[in-house]
Amino acid sequence: MVRLRRLTAPLTLALAVAALAPPVAAQSLQRLTVQSFGLGTDTNAPAAGVPFHLIVTLRVRERVMRIDNLELPLLAELELLGDERHLQSGPGGTEYRETIAVVARQAGTISIAPALLQAVDARDGRAKQYATNGLVLRVAGPAPSLQGAASAAESLAASTLRVALLVLGVCSAVALVVLLARRRSVPPPAPPRLQPVVPPAAPARTRTARDEFADALAVLSADPSRATAVRIRTVVWSLLGAEEGATLADVLARPTARSAAMSELLRALERAAFTYDEDLPAAIARARRALEHVLEVMT
Amino acid sequence: MIARQPADLRAALSQTIVGQQGVVEALLLALLADGHVLLEGPPGLAKTLACRCLAAALDGAFKRIQFTPDLLPSDIVGTRIFDQHEAAFATVLGPIFANVVLADEINRAPAKVQSALLEAMQERQVTIGPETHALPDPFVVMATMNPLDTEGTYALPVAQMDRFLMKVNVGYPSPEQELHILERFAVEDAQPLRDVASLDDVRAWRAQARAVHVDDKLKRYVVALVTATRDASGVAIERSDGPSLPAAGFIEYGASPRATLGLTHLARARALLDGRDFALPDDVRAVAAHVLRHRIGFNYRLATEGLAPDRIIEAIVAAVPAP
């Protein structure tokens, strides 16, 4: 199941969290031979307020009708406008492309985590988690508005615009009356389509682990739920290089997880993921403290 | 000394039993989960000592039954004898009426004797003549089997093996542990610690274990593990000396739903032993082999390929992603 996140509200943070789900059992994973799996954009110079596209591409050797267990990254700093999926299957395999229309509301640097895919590797029969590259985007400020022009010119332009709008309104009203008089059924308007996708540009650079932890803290603070904790647990484990299907003991044994701060974070997230409902607020509070401590240590 | 936590009992047992921490933990888990244990290992590996120490630490009654080919069911559960003075039958209870019962070399007795023991394990009561007697609470059977000497033995039927909550393979200690054993017990025998906890403590711990939270994700994981033993397609056994082998080719039948229950009970018990009131995937993984190894039927190919049953179980556990 590809988790579609079509947004109507501007706050993408909550939506990204709502799409969370626990890992699936091996029996329900697809058997795939992953040949390529990447994340890119259709621009390397995004600007605030200007929509652009994130593109997830996946190529597998098998002919499949759908791609299951694909997790899109958390898009905490972007507003999601739409999502379009395209799957082309042939004798040579299947190519899957998911195009996510987004817009940045502020200028600055935006880090986007890798997309994840869980599948059984058809080459060795093992359940694995594949990850794309991450992205770091530098969003430029909005296009500058006209400044310093003569006030008369501005006034003239404004007057012209008002007249144009008035004429347009009258024409629309007339057209509506004519249409109603003819009593013709009007076909529903075609759904808006995304613009053709331009091949993705090369990612600027991979985001740092600290970016991920900072995002995780922001998301957990905004939505202190079990689903968020589970999602963050997955991201943290992925950052530490945990293999698909690992347990806490496996992750704690990794050299990257042996610091006291990281160990505490892992245990706190494990508790938040599996404890009973009454204990959840305390468990999430502990996870937040642990995340803050990890960020302090990384500083 | 009264133990407040199960971990205190584990620490006390570890002082006496050296090099068998896995066995100690398994016995405690079975005690907390209210189940029975089958211990398989060569002689001399402290299986009997571990059971004796557990009973002593609990201030409970301990009985050992040496299973032999001429053993009768009445030798285990008890019998009725005629009292000439009273001119009436009197009931003599058998050695099964104890808190910890060690059934040594259980596969040396014929099927009817095994059945008598296993029925008592299941029903927690024994009927002798017209009277039904409840077994003590707690009641834990720890049975042993010797894998080396199989001549003249009676294999336990599958349905009866299923009644053991866990089967523990008892291995040899490491050289360092064996040196420690030599230094401690060369001159005098191990002296079990007594009265570390009471039987009331055990009953309270069991109630706590039953209340340990198991998240839905974890329940699904347990079910996925057990169903993977029935359909292991996609699970491969990696070998260093050749191509990988499909695990499904070695399995005759998978684990029963009793394994699902057993995994959950033991995961709860392990969480309690670790001081938690919620279970984790690590709890399930830690007990998976103990619960599954005697509940999966393996075919002849396993022996011809020279593989141990635990290799198949490890591959299945590794193939099912933990939540």
| Residue B75 near residue B35 (C-beta atoms within 8 A) | no
Chain-centroid distance, C-alpha A74: 4
State residue A102's pLDDT score.
84
A136-149: average pLDDT: 61
Burial class (CB in 10 A: 0-12, 13-18, 19+), A250: middle
Q: Which long-range contacts (CB under 8 A, 24 or more apart) does B220-223 make?
A: B220/A25, B220/B323, B221/A25, B221/B281, B221/B284, B221/B320, B221/B322, B221/B323, B222/B260, B222/B263, B222/B264, B222/B267, B222/B284, B223/B260
| B54 in a structural domain | yes
Are A20 and A125 in a shared domain? Answer: yes
Are A126 and A237 in a shared domain? Answer: no
State residue A13's pLDDT score.
37
Residue B2 Cα, gap to closest chain A Cα (Å): 29
**Of A24, A120, A245, which is closest to B234 when you measure between CB atoms?**
A120
Task: Inform me whether the pLDDT recorded for A251 exceeds 70.
Answer: yes
Instruction: Mark yes or no for CB contact B213/A275 under 8 Å.
Output: yes
State residue A146's pLDDT score.
38
| B205 in a structural domain | no
What's the number of domains chain A is made of?
3
A209-226: average pLDDT: 88
| B20 in a structural domain | yes
Are B176 and B240 in a shared domain? Answer: no
Q: Which of A126, A233, A237, A247 to mutate to test the interface with B (most CBs of B within 10 A)?
A: A247
| Residue B7 near residue B114 (C-beta atoms within 8 A) | no
Q: Where a domain ends, among B136, B169, B200? A: B200
State residue B190's pLDDT score.
65
Instruction: Mark yes or no for CB contact B236/A126 under 8 Å.
Output: yes
| B144 in a structural domain | yes
Residue A151 tokens, joined: 């006030």
- Report CA-CA distances (Å) from A242 to A20, A130, A283: 19, 11, 22
DSSP state of B249: G
What's the number of domains chain B is made of?
2
Considering only CB atoms, which chain B residues are within 8 Å of A282? Answer: none
Considering only CB atoms, which chain A residues are within 8 Å of B277? Answer: 275-276, 279
- Report CA-CA distances (Å) from B37 to A219, B31, B161: 46, 9, 10
DSSP B23-91: HHHHHHHHHHHT--EEEE--TTSSHHHHHHHHHHHTT--EEEEE--TT--THHHHEEEEEETTTTEEEE
Which domain does A174 fall in, by range?
A: 155-184
Are B259 and B285 in a shared domain? Answer: yes
Considering only CB atoms, which chain B residues are within 8 Å of A121? Answer: none
Are B133 and B221 in a shared domain? Answer: no
Q: Which of A121, A269, A274, A284 to mutate to test the interface with B (most CBs of B within 10 A)?
A: A274
**Of A26, A127, A274, which is closest to B280 when you measure between CB atoms?**
A274
Residue B252 Cα, gap to closest chain A Cα (Å): 19
Q: Which of A163-167, B76-80, B112-116 has the lowest mean pLDDT?
A: A163-167
Q: Where a domain ends, among B156, B173, B200? A: B200
Are A212 and A287 in a shared domain? Answer: yes
Are B128 and B271 in a shared domain? Answer: no
Are A229 and A299 in a shared domain? Answer: yes
Distance CA A69, CA A3 (A): 8
Are A289 and A163 in a shared domain? Answer: no
Bond before A189 cis per omega within 30 degrees: no
| B1 in a structural domain | no
Instruction: Mark yes or no for CB contact B320/A26 under 8 Å.
Output: yes
Q: Where a domain ends, among B200, B228, B263? A: B200
State residue B279's pLDDT score.
96
Distance CA A274, CA B281 (A): 9
pTM: 0.67
Instruction: Mark yes or no for CB contact B215/A273 under 8 Å.
Output: yes
State residue A12's pLDDT score.
38
| A190 in a structural domain | no
Are B229 and B264 in a shared domain? Answer: yes
Distance CA B30, CA B165 (A): 7
Give Dmax (Cα) for chain A: 77
DSSP state of B291: H
Residue B322 tokens, joined: 């933990």
For the ranges A1-15, A72-86, B149-163, B296-310, the maximum mean pLDDT occurs at B296-310
Q: Which helix (H) or strand (E) holds A220?
A: helix A209-222
* Residue in chain A lying closest to B244 (CA): A124
Considering only CB atoms, which chain A residues are within 8 Å of B228? Answer: 26-27
Q: Which one, of A25, A22, A78, A24, lies nearest residue A54 by Cα? A: A78
A71 touches chain B (CB under 8 A): no
**In this structure, which amino acid lies at residue A53?**
H
Residue A230 Cα, gap to closest chain B Cα (Å): 9
- Give residue-wise pLDDT tens across range B16-58: 777 788 888 999 999 999 999 999 888 777 788 888 888 888 8
Which domain does B109 fall in, by range?
A: 6-200
Are B174 and B224 in a shared domain? Answer: no
A278 touches chain B (CB under 8 A): no
Q: Model confidence at A151, in pLDDT bands (50, 70, 90)?
A: very low
Q: Which long-range contacts (CB under 8 A, 24 or more apart) does A5-9 make?
A: A5/A72, A5/A75, A5/A80, A5/A83, A6/A80, A6/A82, A6/A83, A7/A79, A7/A80, A7/A81
Are B131 and B249 in a shared domain? Answer: no
Are A103 and A237 in a shared domain? Answer: no
Q: Where a domain ends, among A142, A166, A200? A: A142
Are B169 and B243 in a shared domain? Answer: no
Are B257 and B121 in a shared domain? Answer: no
Query: What percentage of chain A has pLDDT greater than the value 70?
Result: 72
Instruction: Mark yes or no for CB contact A26/B319 under 8 Å.
Output: yes
Residue B172 tokens, joined: 């040899």
Considering only CB atoms, which chain B residues are within 8 Å of A29? Answer: 321
Residue A274 Cα, gap to closest chain B Cα (Å): 6
Are A133 and A7 in a shared domain? Answer: yes
**Of A27, A246, A279, which is closest to B322 when you measure between CB atoms?**
A246
Q: Which helix (H) or strand (E) holds B217?
A: helix B216-230
* Residue in chain A lying closest to B285 (CA): A247
Considering only CB atoms, which chain B residues are within 8 Å of A275? Answer: 213, 215, 277-278
- Give residue-wise pLDDT tens across range B156-188: 888 778 889 999 988 887 888 778 777 777 666
Task: Inform me whether the pLDDT recorded for A45 exceeds 50.
Answer: yes
Are B124 and B164 in a shared domain? Answer: yes
Residue B160 Cα, gap to closest chain A Cα (Å): 30
Q: Which of A80-84, A251-255, A286-290 has the lowest mean pLDDT?
A: A80-84
Are A224 and A118 in a shared domain? Answer: no
Q: Where a domain ends, among A142, A176, A198? A: A142
Instruction: Mark yes or no for CB contact B228/A26 under 8 Å.
Output: yes
Task: Inform me whether the pLDDT recorded for A24 exceeds 60.
Answer: no
Q: Model confidence at A10, in pLDDT bands (50, 70, 90)?
A: very low
State residue B149's pLDDT score.
67
Are B240 and B173 in a shared domain? Answer: no
Considering only CB atoms, which chain A residues are within 8 Å of B220? Answer: 25
Residues 6+ apart with CB under 8 A from B215: A273, A274, A275, A276, B278, B279, B323
B127-146: average pLDDT: 88
State residue B313's pLDDT score.
93
Task: Inform me whether the pLDDT recorded for A149 exceeds 70.
Answer: no
Q: How many CB atoms lie within 10 A of CB B105?
A: 17
| A193 in a structural domain | no
Q: Model confidence at A190, in pLDDT bands (50, 70, 90)?
A: low
State residue A202's pLDDT score.
53
Are A216 and A135 in a shared domain? Answer: no
| B313 in a structural domain | yes
Assign residue B174 the CATH number of its domain: 3.40.50.300
Considering only CB atoms, which chain A residues are within 8 Å of B318? Answer: 126, 245
Q: How many CB atoms lie within 10 A of CB B171?
A: 13
Are B191 and B219 in a shared domain? Answer: no
Are A1 and A127 in a shared domain? Answer: yes
B267 touches chain A (CB under 8 A): no
Are A26 and A159 in a shared domain? Answer: no
B319 touches chain A (CB under 8 A): yes
Are A174 and A244 in a shared domain? Answer: no
Could you give the angle at the alpha carbon of A205 between the alpha carbons of A203 and A208, nearest 5°? Answer: 135
Instruction: Mark yes or no for CB contact A274/B217 under 8 Å.
Output: yes
Instruction: Mark yes or no for CB contact B236/A125 under 8 Å.
Output: yes
Distance CA B41, CA B170 (A): 5
B248 touches chain A (CB under 8 A): no
- Render the burial of A32-59: b for 16+ CB within 10 Å, e for the rest: bebeebebbbbeeebbeeebbbbbbbbb
Q: Model confidence at A73, in pLDDT bands (50, 70, 90)?
A: confident
DSSP B122-171: HHSEEEETTEEEEPPSS-EEEEEE-SS--TT--PPPHHHHTTSSEEEE--
A26 touches chain B (CB under 8 A): yes
Assign residue B237 the CATH number of its domain: 1.10.8.80
Q: Which residues, listed in sequence order, are joined to residue A136 by a DSSP beta bridge? A: A111
| A123 in a structural domain | yes
Rg of chain B in Å (alpha carbons)? 21
Reported ipTM:
0.80
* Residue in chain B lying closest to A251 (CA): B282
Residue B71 tokens, joined: 């053993």
A21 touches chain B (CB under 8 A): no
| Residue B99 near residue B136 (C-beta atoms within 8 A) | yes
